Structure 1
Amino acid sequence: MNSTTSIIGFIAAILTTVSFVPQVLKVWRTRSAKDVSLGMYLLFTLGIAAWLVYGVLIESWPVILANVVTLILAGAVLVMKLKFG
């Protein structure tokens, strides 16, 4: 993979991963997750875990790093959904 491809991959990874921060902060601050879909976050978190495994199998650092962070953020929202409703 050339450097331009890697840079584009890292930019995409950063943008899509950071997009979850506002949701995590909102649920944390309000202690309310009533409008968050449990089914969506459950499926999404499982999908991110699968992407992480895929990234490890193909040894792609942009995929691995983005999905580790996204898994943590999405998992946090999922846990808060279960805790705060």
Structure 2
Amino acid sequence: MTSYSKGLHHYHIRKRIYQKHEPFPSKNKLKRNFDKLIYIAVIFGPIMTIPQLLKIWTSKNAAGVSFIAWASFSVISILWLTYGILHKEKPIIFMNLALIILQVLIAISALIYG
């Protein structure tokens, strides 16, 4: 078994080691660039939720916004956050923490203004 100084934090890293998949970071330029692109998604994913929240707050109207849907998104994000914490994956942690805050605010706003 290969030993990493940072430990085996992520399922896919463990899977690569045991199944003798390619090393990380990949030698393939496209894959390396995609690994970097994920950090942009971490930033812009939660930002794309802000306009929905602002629209609800400024108009004080949540017609068409489903509390159940946004509450469900929050539960899913909590699962992803837990996964990120357990595997010490910072992009997963940061993105889902931001998403949980925004999704809970939208769900509460849907109850108040819906």
Task: Provide Cα deviations, 1:44-74, integer angstroms capped at 9, x if missing partner.
Answer: 1111111111111111111100111111111
The answer to whether residue 102 in structure 2 is matched with residue 73 in structure 1 is yes
TM-score normalised per structure 2:
0.67
Aligned to 2:60: 31
Equivalent-residue separation in structure 1 for 2:96 and 2:84 (angstroms): 8
TM-score (norm 1): 0.88
Q: Are 1:64 and 2:93 matched, yes or no?
A: yes
TM-superposed deviation, 1:9: 2.1
| CA drift at 1:84 | 1.2
Could you say which structure has the greater relative contact order, defined with CA pairs below 8 angstroms and 6 or more residues apart?
1
Deviates more, 1:32-41 or 1:62-71: 32-41
Count of paired positions: 84
CA RMSD after TM alignment: 1.5
In our comparison, the structure showing a higher alpha carbon Rg is 2
- In 2, distance between residues paired with 1:27 and 1:9? 29
Task: For residue 23 of structure 1, report the CA deviation from its aligned partner.
Answer: 0.3
Q: Which stretches in structure 2 are left out of the alignment for 5+ residues?
A: 1-23, 26-31
Q: Percentage identity across aligned positions?
A: 29
Tell me what 1:22 maps to. Answer: 51
Q: Corresponding residue for 1:82?
A: 111
Gaps of 5+ in 1: none
